[in-house]
Structure formats: C-alpha cells, structure tokens
Structure 1
Amino acid sequence: MSQEVRGVIARAKGAPVEVATIVVPDPGPGEAVVQVQACGVCHTDLHYREGGINDDFPFLLGHEAAGIVEQVGAGVTDVAPGDFVVLNWRAVCGNCRACRRGKPWYCFATHNAAQKMTLTDGTELSPALGIGAFVEKTLVHAGQCTKVDPAARPAAVGLLGCGVMAGLGAAVNTGGVTRGDSVAVIGCGGVGDGAVAGAALAGATTIIAVDTDPRKLEWARGFGATHTVNARETDPVEAIRELTGGHGADVVIEAVGRPETWKQAFYARDLAGTVVLVGVPTPEMKVPDLPLLDVFGRGGALKSSWYGDCLPDRDFPMLTSLYLQGRLDLDAFVTEEIALDQVEDAFGKMHHGDVLRSVVIF
C-alpha cells in the first residue's frame, strides 16, 4: 500500500523549494523503499532547482543520503529490510558495453526505479539523480542501495553518495594519485576537499589547495593540504610551479567547472602530468582557446571524472571502514545539521560559501 510522506520539491525554475506531501508506492520488482535518515544539500540540487540539468519539473530534490531499507520488491536479493545503506546514482547494469569490458564505473545503462513517486494530485515527480532523498522515505532501484557498516553516522557516510565520493574518486580513481605524488586541487568546496582528502589517503606528499576564499583554504588544510594558494592574491599557475620545483604538479584536479580554472589546471601540471575535471560546467561553457601544440607538447592526460569513477559496492564499504578507523574524517564535511524545511536557507549558505555541507536530518 502506498505511503504519504513529507519531501522537498522544486515546482518551477528558480522558484523557492517547498515541503509537500509525497506519495511513495510499494516497491515493484527490483525496487526498494528506504527510510531516509540523513541527506546532504549538494550543489547539484541547486542546479536542478535552477533548471541547469533539465526542465522536467517538478523535481523531488536530494540525493546524498543514507538510511534503512524498509521494503523490497520481487527479485531483490542484495539488500533486505533493516539494512543500513548509502544511496548511489550509478547502479550498474552489468550488461552494457562498459560493464562487459570490465569498466562498470562507466556503466552506460544505470538503473533507477521504474515507478514514479507523485504529489497527492497524481503529478509525477522527477527524482534528483534518480534518487530524490529530501523526503522521509524514497523509492529507488535496489541496485542504488549500497550496504555499509551500521555503526557509521548517517549524516557523515551519506555524503559518500555524491560530493565526497566525486572528489575523493577524482584523485584516487581517475587521477591515479599515489605515494610521493604532487597534487593541486583548484576549488575547495565539498568536492575539492574530497579530492584533498583522497590525495592524502593515497600518500601524496605535496597537496596544494587553490581557492579565492580564505575560509575554504583553511578547511582544505584540515583535510590534508600541505600548501594553500589564494588565487585572488597570487597567480595559481606560477604558485603551483614554485611549490613543485618549477615543474608543476603530477595531478591537477579542477573542482570548479569553469573554462578559466580548467586552463589554469592545464598549465599548472608537470609535463606528462594529469588534469582531472570533476567540477560540473554549464552547457554554454567551452574549452578555452589552447594552442594545439601545447596539448601535444605537454603530453600526459586530460580526463573528466564521473562520480569519481567509483564503483559503489566496492568503494562505499571501504571508505566507511576508513571513516570508522579514524582515517577519513567524513564528520568534518558536515558543517550543520538542519530540518527538512530549511533546505532553501541551506542553498543560500552554500551559494555564499558559508558551509561545506548542510545535512538534513530526519
């Protein structure tokens, strides 16, 4: 029997979000209903509200979430009622060309719930990233539920569902950061600080955080940055080169998603170094004008990172274990805990750089 719960929706482009009654159907084959315990307020949710993803309004926002499986549909065997899970938005299919080639983190046919959650008048909702977790209970594909150690704090490990995983994975999975590397991270919000933390975990010896906000640079030091560069005061390319013996960093991670900062990343890397784009650009942005000879002559790799090239059932339990061991401080990403009706205020704080993450607690 369907349930009625409270959730946060965006009805129209640019309109303030609102709390509404959401109808959650019983799970069908391959689906699960999850009682959400915590959900982070991510910049992607703001992109949805502003029409930056698509125009399939109304949206049920929220996707960085952890909670307890309440019900499962027919054929579900990997999770069961009572399991503590982190939700993910890349539930791999196992059959597409990427999965068959042994690269499931690139899965081109990821799963979402087949049924739609609705408003009480029957209006179908578009769940953010196929999840929709600013809601007391949500319907997802069972493959979007990744079991982790229930000893973990939901507000902390839920952030693995998007921003922290995107940044950490950009360093470890996409950038291949390893012991002794030099790393520069441009943009030190939640994703950028995830990249800093990932570089530290991987054993990088020089980790340079670049931002224009002194508060964010101080936060980055807490996650393992060995040096900071205020790009309002110093040319970041020259500063990164100076801090790496005049050569540039082995890996430069761009966590802003703007042409000018991507160009800085390109010239701030060492010869044969790697640039990783994990910041999300908007549709009108173009690759900056670069001499093709520079692209050829500098060698190395120019990569983009989708969700930190993660495999949730591999990475989420491992990172949760590191968190519980005290080796990955996920709690430090949680700036504040808020109620469901404070999401609009949290967007304002995020826009002004006042928080790393506001987390809705249910």
Structure 2
Amino acid sequence: MSNTVKGVISRVKDEPVELVDIVIPDPGPNDVVVRIQACGVCHTDLAYREGGINDEYPFLLGHEAAGIVETVGERVTHVAEGDFVVLNWRAVCGECRACKRGEPKYCFDTHNASKSMTLEDGTELSPALGIGAFAEKTLVHEGQCTKVDEKEDPAVAGLLGCGVMAGMGAAMNTGEIKRGESVAVIGCGGVGIAAIAGAKLAGASKIIAVDIDPTKLEWAKDFGATDVINSKDADPVEGIQGLTGGFGADVVVDAVGIPATYKQAFYARDLAGRVVLVGVPTPDMTLEMPLLDFFSRGGALKSSWYGDCLPERDFPMLVDLHLEGRLPLDKFVTERISLDAVEQAFESMKAGKVLRSVVEI
C-alpha cells in the first residue's frame, strides 16, 4: 500500500524549494522503502535546484541519507526490514563490461528503483542521484542500501552517501596515498576536508590545505592538515613547493574543479606525482595548457567519481573507524535542521558557513 509523506522538492529552476506531500508507491520486486532518519544537505542538491544537472523538474532532493529499511520487495535478499542502512548512488549491476572486468567502481548500469515517487496529482518526481531523501520515506533499489553498524548516529552515517565518501575516496582510493607521502588539497569545503581526513588516515606525512577562506583553513587543521596556504595572499604552487623541499607534493587533490585550480594542482605536484580531480567542472569549462608539460612531468592525472568507492566495502569500514575513535566523522556535522529548513541551509552553504547541515527526521 502506498504511503503519503512529506518531502522537499524543487519545482522550478532557481526558485525556493517546497515542502509538500509526496506519494511513495509499494516497492517493486527488488525495491525497498526506507524510513529516512537523517540526510545531509549537499552542493549537488543545490545544483539540481539551479538546473545544473538537468531540467527534469520537479526534483525530489536529498541523497546523503541513512535510515531504517521499512518494507522490501518480494525478491529482495540484500537487506531485511529493520536494517540500518546508508543510501548510495552506486548500486552496481555486476553484468556490465566494467563489472565483468573486475572494476565495479566504474559500473555503467547502476540500479535505481523500478517505480517512480510522485506528487499527489500523479506528477512523477526525479529523485536526486536516484535517491530523493529529503523526505520522511523514500523508495530505492535494494543495492542502493548498505547496512552499517546500528550504533552509528544517522546524521553522521548518512554523510558517507556522497560528499565525505567522495573526498576520502579521492585521497585513499583514487590518489592511492602511501604512508609518508606528501599531499596537497586545493579547496577546503566538505569534499576537500574529507580528502584531508582521508590523507591523514592513509598515513600522509605532510598535508597541505589551500583555500581563500581562513575559516575553512582552520577546519582543515582540525581534520589533519599540517600546513595551510591562503591563496588570496600567496601563490599556492610556490607555497606547496616551498613546503616540500622545492619539489612539489606527491599527490595533489583538486576539490574545486575549475581550470585555475586544476592548473595549480598540475604544477604543484612533484615529477611523476599524481593529480586527482574530484571537484566537478561545469560543461562550459575548457583547459588550455602546453602539451609538452603533460609529457615532461609524467605521473598520473586522475578523475575521481564518488571517490572510486565500493559502498559495500567502504561504508561499513569508515563507520567502524568512527565508532572506534579513529576517524572524526562527527565533526562534519555543523548543524542539525528540520525538513522545512533546507532552503536556509542552501544559503549557509553558499556563504561557506557550514561543512554540512544535516536534516534530521
């Protein structure tokens, strides 16, 4: 039997979001209904609202979520009613060419729910990243649910669903940081700070944070940065080289994703160093650089999609590390808000006042 619940939608480009009644259908054979307990406010949700993803309005926003499996479809085996889960947007298919060659992190056919959530008048909703979790309940494919330790705070666990995992994975999975290496992170928003936390967890000896905001640089120190550079006041390439014996960092993570910061990352690395792009460029951005520089510097230039994570492997591990006191995931939660405060949370995000606002339901 379908459920009518409250949810936050974006109905029109650039207009404030609305808290409305939405209809959650009965799950299909491999779908589950999850009762949402907490959902982080991510920049991707704002991008949906502003038309930066596509124009398939209305959107049901929210995707960094944790909650309890409430109802399961008849063929579901992956989770059971009552399980505490973190939602993900990489429910790998196991059948595409990436999965078959042993690289499911690049799965080309990830699963989503088989039915649409709707407004009360029947208008179909486009769920953000196939999740749509600014709602009391949501409908997802069973593979989008990753069971984690139920002792974890839902507000903390849910953040692994996107930004925190993207940043930590960029450092640990894509960047393959080794113990004792030097790392620089350009851009210290939520994803960049997570990359710093990941670099520390991986055993980096020097972690250099770069940003133009002194508050964010203080956050970076709190998560493990050994040095900070305010790029308003100093050239970041020269600064990173100066802190690494003149050579540059072994790994540089660009958590901004614009041509200027990518060039900084490229030239701030050591010879044969690695550049990791995790900040998401817009479609209109282009990059012009001497081709000879790519050849002469060697190394690796990588893009990090969702931190190259595998939710079933990474989410439980990171939750366990937090519960053991070895990873300060709770520090990412700046404020806890209600469903009707999402629009204000977007303003706080744009002003750089928060690492994460988290909706608690």
Q: TM-score, normalised by structure 2?
A: 1.00
Partner residue, 1:46: 46
Give the distance between the partners of 1:136 and 1:329, measured in 2 at CA: 27
Structure 1: give runs of 5+ residues left out of the alignment. Answer: none
Partner residue, 2:297: 298
1:114 Cα deviation after fit: 1.2
- 1:193-232 alignment, distance < 5 Å: 193-232=193-232
Letter in 1 for 2:300: A
**Alignment RMSD:** 0.4
Letter in 1 for 2:103: K
Q: Which runs of 4+ in 1 moved over 2 A?
A: none
Give the distance between the partners of 2:231 and 2:277, measured in 1 at CA: 18
Matched length: 361
Partner residue, 2:9: 9
1:157 Cα deviation after fit: 1.1
Partner residue, 2:308: 309
1:286 Cα deviation after fit: 1.1
Partner residue, 1:354: 353
Letter in 2 for 1:251: V
Letter in 2 for 1:6: K
Partner residue, 1:331: 330
Establish whether residue 280 from structure 1 lines up as the match of residue 292 from structure 2.
no
Partner residue, 1:68: 68
* Residue aligned with 1:293, SS: helix
Q: 1:24-71, CA deviations, whole angstroms, 9 ceiling, x for partnerless residues? A: 001111100000000000000000000000000000000000000001
1:73 Cα deviation after fit: 0.3
Establish whether residue 158 from structure 1 lines up as the match of residue 180 from structure 2.
no
Letter in 2 for 1:34: V
Give the distance between the partners of 2:217 and 2:348, measured in 1 at CA: 17
Give the distance between the partners of 1:212 and 1:239, measured in 2 at CA: 14
1:257 Cα deviation after fit: 1.1
Give the distance between the partners of 1:88 and 1:302, measured in 2 at CA: 26
1:78 Cα deviation after fit: 1.2
1:178 Cα deviation after fit: 1.2
Partner residue, 1:320: 319
- 1:255-270 alignment, distance < 5 Å: 255-270=255-270
Give the distance between the partners of 1:71 and 1:3, measured in 2 at CA: 11
- 1:36-115 alignment, distance < 5 Å: 36-115=36-115
Give the distance between the partners of 1:84 and 1:118, measured in 2 at CA: 25
Letter in 1 for 2:114: A
Give the distance between the partners of 1:178 and 1:316, measured in 2 at CA: 21
1:74 Cα deviation after fit: 1.6
Give the distance between the partners of 2:272 and 2:237, measured in 1 at CA: 16
Give the distance between the partners of 1:222 and 1:35, measured in 2 at CA: 33
* Residue aligned with 1:253, SS: strand
* Residue aligned with 1:179, SS: coil
Give the distance between the partners of 1:74 and 1:187, measured in 2 at CA: 45
Give the distance between the partners of 1:89 and 1:178, measured in 2 at CA: 28
Letter in 1 for 2:310: L
Give the distance between the partners of 2:276 and 2:74, measured in 1 at CA: 40
1:319 Cα deviation after fit: 0.4
Give the distance between the partners of 1:272 and 1:75, measured in 2 at CA: 49
Letter in 2 for 1:48: Y
